[in-house]
Structures are given as C-alpha cells and as structure tokens.
Homo-oligomer: A and B are copies of this chain.
Amino acid sequence: MKAAVIGATGYGGIELIRLLSNHPEFTLHSVYSSSKDQVPATDDYPHLHEICPLPLMKIDPEKITTECDVVFLAVPSGASSFLSPQLLANNTKVVDLSGDLRLKNTEDYKKWYKKEPAEASTLEQAVYGLTEWNREEVKNASLLSNPGCYPTATLLGLAPAIQAEAIDPSSIIIDAKSGVSGAGRGLSQLVHFAEMNDNFRIYKVNQHQHIPEIEQQLQAWDSTVGPITFSTHLLPITRGIMATIYAPMKQPMSAVELHQLYKEAYKDSFFVRVRPLGEFPGVKEVAGSNFCDIGIDVDERTNRATIVAVIDNLMKGAAGQAIQNANIMFGIEETAGLRGFPIYP
C-alpha cells in the first residue's frame, strides 16, 4: 500500500516518515509541504541523509489520490478542513492528525480554534480514532480524525473509570504536562532553548483547545460529565506527556478494585499497559514507542483517585496512533510497524 504524508516538515510529519519507512505493509510513496516544492527533505532534516531520498513536493490532491492508497495529513489546524474532502477521491483513505475534524459541534470549533470549521458533511464522515475505544468504527472509516496528544493520554486514563461510573463525573481535574515537541517546529520565545532549559511553565490556562475534545468524548461515554478543569504545562524535555488526573470516587472503592477494573479494561489492548498497583510510569518509559502506560491509586484519606497516564506525544499522541488507526482501516495487524520498544535510557 502506498502512503503519502502531507505536512512533512513538522514534527508529526517527520515521525510519520520514520514509521512508514520501516513499516511492513505501507510504503512511503511521497511527501508534501505547503511551503516547499522539489526540495530535499534532508534540507530541513539532515538526520534523513541517505535514507529518505524523497523530495518535498507541492500539495496536489488529484495526483496524490491517484497514486496513493492512504494520505496522512499532518498540517496545522485550518488546513485539513478543506484538504480532507479533496483527498477522499479514488478510494484513498485519509488520516488527519490536525484538530480540524475532531469537534462535531462547529460552534465549539469556532470558539476554541478561532477558525472557520469544516463542512458538516466532512465532520459527519470523520471517525474519531481513539483506537482502543473505537476499533469497530475505525475499521470502516475512510476519513479518520486522529485524537490530540493531550486527549489521548487523558481519555485513555479516564475511560475505564468513567465507563464504570466509578468516579464523580462533575469534579474531574487534569493536570497535564508535555514535552516541547508538542509545541511544534515553529520558532517562539517560549521554546527558545535558553528560556525553556531548566524551566517549567504553565500555558493557555483554562483555554486549551483540547478541552472540548476531551469533554466531547467523556460525554459520549457518560452524558452526566460536567466541565473539566484541564491545565497544560511545558516540560523541558523533547518528547512525552503525563496527564495526572484527579477525581473523587463516586462510591468508596479501594485502589485494588479500581486497578482491577483498569487491568480488565485494557487486557486486550497491546499498547495500553496498566502498571502493577503501587507503580507509576515515567514519561521516558514510553519514549519512542506507541505505548500508553497507566498508574493508579485511590487515597483512603480523601476518597479521591489519582490516575497517571503517559505517552510519547509524537507516537501514541500523533504519528504512532495514526499508523495504528491506518493499520486497522486496512485490515492489517494493529501493531504492524509499531512494535519498537521504548528507547531507554
């Protein structure tokens, strides 16, 4: 199967190139960028020297759909809204990594993204690819909306508790931290090395566009879920997200019971590893891999749960989950091309 990557100069795009180049079923056919034409990818990314001879090309939807079986869209939000429909010709399947097709409610999109939303028909067609909880729909999807990095960690961390109605759905607080690759390749003072090194910052307080995405999915599972508090921080690391999640238990429940519930929920999901009770994952323990590791505690003093979920934001939080979804969309083994171990240390 031939795959194209659009938006190949961003960090999500470059990670797709890495994964597709060693995938047993997909072949990386061509790479595109809105800002380049016939420029070697190595100009931007010298680590690709001699191993990625493909030039970056101008985006030509017709050519792409004629030549490729699947297109990965790793473009900034705003671009997928109009590119996606054009790419759905000729039976080409589309996996969109942007935020454009995630929110079903266009008012939400306008409010949080401050951009014009996609057409209703496009949004309707888009399947939300939180793989572990939507495998059946993903199987039949032509247009896949890949979840955001923070929502992936948060939702995988909350799913079993929400679905089992174990926690109070009105008091969920998520304190999330991300490595700076999540902020992309665009230059800014915030992530200038001398300013971010040995630093730690909170940003977009109560204003992050991933809030409605998380709430939409939580409410799909349990319509009584109230507005969440969700904070995002920047860690002085390259890759990795940790979501530390707090919620009161609905009824008293022991840590053992909650842990059991999580083990059960993810027993068939290769990429979600529920850690033994008492053990919590560090972000480095999933670096470079598609795993989401989860640790759990219930504090008897407070009757509150603490749930910790970690992912590599460029893998399970972006390119890795996109490949996982594409695998399922094409009937390939879900883990194909994704069995690499975390890089440790």
Give complex CA distance A124, B134 in Å: 60
Give complex CA distance A308, B46 in Å: 15
- Residues in B whose Cβ lies below 8 Å from that of A240: 198-200
- Residues in B whose Cβ lies below 8 Å from that of A339: 22
Question: Quick one: which of B14, B173, B189, B198 contacts A239, CB cutoff 8 A?
Answer: B198
Pairwise interchain contact B236-A199, C-beta atoms closer than 8 A: no
Pairwise interchain contact A196-B193, C-beta atoms closer than 8 A: yes
Question: Quick one: which of B45, B188, B196 contacts A187, CB cutoff 8 A?
Answer: B188
Contact with B along A326-344 (1 / 0, CB 8 A): 0000000000000111111
Contact with B along A258-280 (1 / 0, CB 8 A): 00000000000000010100011
Closest B residue to A288 using CB positions? B343
Give complex CA distance A205, B280 in Å: 9
- Residues in B whose Cβ lies below 8 Å from that of A188: 187
For the complex formed, measure the closest distance between the CB of A319 and the CB atoms of chain B, giving whole angstroms.
Answer: 12
Question: Quick one: which of B22, B46, B345 contacts A194, CB cutoff 8 A?
Answer: B345
For the complex formed, measure the closest distance between the CB of A46 and the CB atoms of chain B, giving whole angstroms.
Answer: 6
Q: Could you say which interface size class chain A belongs to?
A: 35 or more
Q: Which A residues fall within an 8 A CB radius of B?
A: 11, 14, 17-18, 21-22, 45-52, 171, 173, 175, 177, 179-181, 183, 185, 187-189, 191-203, 205-206, 226-229, 231, 233, 235-240, 242, 244, 246, 248, 273, 275, 279-288, 293, 295, 297, 299, 301-302, 304, 306, 308, 339-345
- Residues in B whose Cβ lies below 8 Å from that of A196: 193
Closest B residue to A52 using CB positions? B341
- Residues in B whose Cβ lies below 8 Å from that of A189: 185, 187
